Homo-oligomer: A and B are copies of this chain.
Amino acid sequence: MAKSRLPGEFELIARYFAPLSEGFEGAYGLRDDVAVMTPGSGKQVVAKTDAIVAGVHFLPDDPAGLVAQKALRVNLSDLAAKGAVPLCYMLDLILPSETTEEWVAAFAAGLARDQETFGVHLIGGDTNATPGALTVAIALLGEIDHNQTLRRGGARPGDVIFVTGTVGDAALGLVALLGELGEIDPAKADWLIGRYRLPVPRVGVGPQLTNLATASIDISDGLIADLGHVCEVSGLSADVEVARVPFSAAARTAINTDRALLEAALTGGDDYEILFTAPEEETDGIEQLSRRSSVPITAIGRMRKAPTETQERVILRDSSGQPMKILRDGWQHFQG
């Protein structure tokens, strides 16, 4: 089928993006220069932006709808981990000249699916040409009760460390995508790849953590790195019992075939689960939340007082309590 060239910016907006603003009055149908939002009474606005770049965060031939959903979900995940309810977002879509109208249509359809799932609306944005790589920047806005935002820095010594869902699937999915997973049931490999390509932000859990958690972060850089961020800002260290870290059946199978994949699972990014700390006495409330939301929440360790200068902030312990050595510290997307 012949691919059509892109129509002009105004056409593109009218055809594919303006429909995504329907139902949000302050978006003005994307026919004005700004958008207006009104947080509820007593609420604060919570804001986050994250961009993804072809060849860096996704593969240039990844399905456009998945690219759109991933771009939105990485931001939804941050708001969720902070306890905020997402409302609306702005989009900067930066397209190389070879982009087809079919690509844009599939991209917009991906956004439409996630708007339905997560209850958010597109309220503004910008499409631009680039001589370089396709880039998607999303700025997400939400709301939260005054002073309820969950921070990285609120953990206290003795707090239990919890994670939602399972850890490491996305990292192992990427290994599978690269064809380096070895002998594993193809259905399990596909499931891991799906977890890498389409993370599930925990928007149902996050806003219910504000009265339970002391600190919270989403796992985007990797379990160890993100727990390290919480430790650093809270001025603490953390003990993690590796045997308690929740792995999916597929991840466990992969790790059993190749022990080196344990490291990938513990340090790899893109899980977009929530890692949070809470006092032990909140355990009941957290178990209830887990049942109510049908999202597994697992205790994996405990916060400790600040480490000495020679100690690691995050200490992994095996089942006999002995420290384990892990090589990498997590992803750094940005390398000079």
Chain A residues within 8 Å of B, Cβ to Cβ: 5-10, 12, 26, 28, 31-39, 44-53, 55-57, 78-79, 81-82, 84, 90-92, 94, 96-97, 99, 101, 123-133, 135, 137, 139, 141, 144, 146, 149, 151-153, 217-218, 233, 332-336
Q: Which residue of the partner chain, among B44, B79, B124, B129, contacts A335 with CB atoms under 8 Å?
A: B129
Q: Which residue of B lies closest to A132 (CB)?
A: B132
In angstroms, Cα B35 to Cα A99, docked, is 33
Interface contact B50-A126, CB-CB below 8 Å: yes
Interface contact B131-A132, CB-CB below 8 Å: yes
Q: Which residue of the partner chain, among B31, B51, B218, contacts A137 with CB atoms under 8 Å?
A: B51
Q: Which residue of the partner chain, among B49, B56, B144, contacts A125 with CB atoms under 8 Å?
A: B49
Besides the known contacts A33-B217, A34-B47, A49-B139, 14 further A-B residue pairs in the complex with CB atoms under 8 A apart: A5-B336, A8-B334, A8-B335, A10-B332, A26-B44, A31-B152, A38-B44, A38-B146, A39-B39, A49-B137, A50-B126, A51-B128, A56-B128, A56-B131
Q: Which residue of the partner chain, among B50, B123, B129, contacts A92 with CB atoms under 8 Å?
A: B50
In angstroms, Cα B127 to Cα A99, docked, is 24
Q: Which residue of the partner chain, among B129, B137, B149, contacts A34 with CB atoms under 8 Å?
A: B149
A112 to nearest B CB, angstroms?
20
Given A50-B92, A336-B8, check contact A130 B133 (CB 8 Å).
yes
In angstroms, Cα B145 to Cα A38, docked, is 11
Interface contact B127-A94, CB-CB below 8 Å: no
In angstroms, Cα B90 to Cα A176, docked, is 35
- Residues of B near A127 (CB, < 8 A) are 334
- Residues of B near A52 (CB, < 8 A) are 128
Interface contact B152-A32, CB-CB below 8 Å: yes
Interface contact A97-B31, CB-CB below 8 Å: no
Interface contact B44-A97, CB-CB below 8 Å: no
Interface contact B32-A334, CB-CB below 8 Å: no
Interface contact A39-B45, CB-CB below 8 Å: yes
Interface contact B53-A44, CB-CB below 8 Å: no
In angstroms, Cα B94 to Cα A7, docked, is 26
Most buried by B among A33, A51, A79, A131: A33
In angstroms, Cα B128 to Cα A49, docked, is 12
A113 to nearest B CB, angstroms?
22
- Residues of B near A10 (CB, < 8 A) are 332
List, sorted by A's number, 25 A–B pairs whose CB atoms are closer than 8 Å. Answer: A9-B332, A10-B332, A26-B44, A28-B151, A31-B152, A32-B153, A33-B81, A33-B217, A36-B144, A38-B146, A39-B39, A47-B139, A47-B141, A49-B125, A51-B92, A51-B94, A52-B128, A53-B129, A53-B130, A55-B132, A56-B129, A101-B336, A128-B334, A129-B333, A132-B133
- Residues of B near A45 (CB, < 8 A) are 36-39, 45, 141
A27 to nearest B CB, angstroms?
10
Interface contact B51-A333, CB-CB below 8 Å: no
